[in-house]
Amino acid sequence: MWNYLFYIYSLRNKDETDFNGIESYVEKKIREEDISWFPIYRALSVRDETSNDTQDIIHGKIESIQGRLQKIDKFLDNYEDVY
């Protein structure tokens, strides 16, 4: 998970004109507060149908991660203002 945090941080500090296709896609998703790009319980090699209960659990975890990312984002904004 920390690698994704560092990836988001590097995108925020990179000029948009230097983005490659994947970086542009992820940055757009982050701006829209859409974490569908985040691989939670998903892998390209493993695809199966999950039950509604499992989907509810995953959705709850996604919302939790979104909240944490928002807190980290605010922290980074404040950190950048100070330094």
Instruction: Read off the pLDDT of residues 23-77 as tens digits, 9 standing for 90 and up.
Output: 999 999 988 888 888 877 666 555 555 556 777 788 888 888 888 888 888 888 8
Q: How far apart are CA 14 and CA 10, in angstroms?
A: 6
In a domain, 68, yes or no: yes
Global model pTM greater than 0.75: no
pLDDT at site 2: 78
Structural domain span for residue 78: 16-42+49-82
In a domain, 9, yes or no: no
Q: How far apart are CA 13 and CA 79, in angstroms?
A: 13
Domain count within the chain: 1
